[in-house]
Homo-oligomer: A and B are copies of this chain.
Amino acid sequence: MKKYLVEFIGTFFLVFTIGMVVIDPGAGALAPLAIGSALMIMVYAGGHVSGGHYNPAVTLAVWLRGRCPVADVPGYIGAQIAAGIVAAMTVLALKNNPTLTPNEIKAVPALIAEFLGTFALAYVVLNVATAKGTAGNSNYGLAIGFTVMTMAFALGGISGGAFNPAVAVGLTVMHLANTSNLWIYLVANFAAGALAAVTFKFVNPDDK
């Protein structure tokens, strides 16, 4: 139960920060720095309790890599999605229910963008937070959070830059993404998480 609460709190602040800094007036060009830092601080705060996933695609990747019990997976993903929805509603209330029109995105480039960004994220998570070769480091949160920052700078204009199904749900609730595009995020994010787990095992063969 405490793990699910930590996943809820972390995902809440991630999605909440995204909404607050993206919806005008927000943080402008600096939004990716705020978003990546929101993830970083929550990974540092909650990693020792829940692993600090805050992302169903990361939970999938960590489970496939063998560092998340299957019994935890539904609770983790449920807490993450619920947090994304609650955060989105909190943002809308604080921003006075703005009328927003999602940016148009094209399916194929968005699929590629979400796949690449989520692959980078899950690949970094597995290597800095679950590998024997990097055990005990103090940089895992910086590496994970700034991966989202980097990918948001690189790919935000193509796909909206979710790299996370719970974020995609939050973006949809805030009308920053179209409901009809939700499948793009789900397909690309989970596929990338799975490939990252396979890649991790290949490059860390002695790390069971």
Contact = CB atoms under 8 A, between A and B. Distances in A.
Copies of this chain, whole number: 4
Contacts of A142: 40, 44, 139, 141-142
Contacts of A133: 48-49
B94 A203 contact: no
Interface stretch (A61-69, A77-85, A146-154, A179-187): A146-154
Given A30-B30, A127-B46, A154-B21, A9 B199 contact: yes
Contact of A143 (B27, B45, B203): B45
- Chief secondary structure at chain A's binding surface: helix
Which size bracket describes the interface of A in this complex? 35 or more
Interface of A: 2, 5-6, 9, 13, 16-17, 20-21, 25-34, 37-38, 40-42, 44-49, 90, 94, 109, 112-113, 116, 120, 123-124, 127-128, 131, 133-134, 137-143, 146-147, 149-150, 153-155, 157-158, 199, 202-205
